[in-house]
Amino acid sequence: MRKYRYFGALLDTQEKWLNKMASNGYKFIRVEKLLYEFEKCQPNSYVYKIDFVASKSKSKSEDYKSFLEGLGYKVFYKNINLNYSVGKIRVRPWAEKGGRVATNMGGTFNKELLIVEKKADGKPFELHTDLEDKISYAKTIRNSWLTLFALCIFIFALQFIDKPEISLGIIVALIIAILLLFPISLYQRQVIKYTNEKRTNE
């Protein structure tokens, strides 16, 4: 069975959808930019997690994927972007060294996510269990959204300075910036939560 979906950076939504499909008896077997392919299986046989790896360099991303596969998980790369052109370069100032420039010519462009599959065995399935790791992971995703927010504010400022009156460009940039505050606040709350837990445990 084939399904066509685009979740972008809505990691939790994508993860919940995959797990709902699994609970209804559909095992995930293949992915492309918009395509998710499934085969029939026993309901609730598999569990899925989405992991954000856009901040990693190509070698670290591949090492991490191999590490997860070594634990017995099945792992697929998945894109956040919708990009069908060749030779694109994306700058990620929030990423770790080695992952700040991504290309689709043997790089990490359009491989921003990992879909991780585990056979359901009743045991908890977490990819980030250490509090320090959870804090770092939440900060990385928060910072990616913050970068987009800063870009929108920059565009808003340029538009307003160039033409100090309300225009369509200013309205669009402002609306996008406001919408970006939601994921920023979501991951900031996670940072605060895990930081407080860490302090409590110290």
pTM of the predicted model as reported, rounded to 2 decimal places: 0.76
The reported pLDDT for the residue numbered 107 is 54
Q: What would the pLDDT profile of 111-126 be if each residue is shown by its tens digit?
A: 899 999 999 998 889 9
Share of the chain above pLDDT 90, in %: 50
Q: Please name which of 102, 121, 122, 120 lies closest in space to residue 112, comparing C-alpha atoms.
A: 102
pLDDT exceeds cutoff 70 at 18: yes
One-letter amino acid at 175 equals: I
Q: pLDDT band at residue 94, thresholds of 50, 70 and 90?
A: very low
**Cα R_g (the chain), whole angstroms:** 19
In the chain, the percentage of residues whose pLDDT exceeds 70 is 85
Flag whether pLDDT at 87 surpasses 60: no
108 has pLDDT over 70: no
Mean pLDDT of 147-168: 79
The residues, any chain, with a CB within 8 Å of residue 21's CB and separated by 6 or more, are 3, 28, 36, 38
DSSP for 151-198, written as a single string: HHHHHHHHHHHHS-S--HHHHHHHHHHHHHHHHHHHHHHHHHHHHHHH
Closest C-alpha to 15, from 52, 43, 41, 40: 52
Write out the H or E segment, with its range, that includes residue 117: strand 113-119
29: left (phi over 0), alpha (psi -120 to 50) or beta: alpha
Sheet with 113-119, edge to edge strand ranges? 46-52, 113-119, 74-78
Q: What's the pLDDT tens digit per position in 34-53?
A: 999 999 999 999 999 999 99
Arithmetic mean of pLDDT over the chain: 85
Q: What confidence score (pLDDT) does residue 179 get?
A: 87
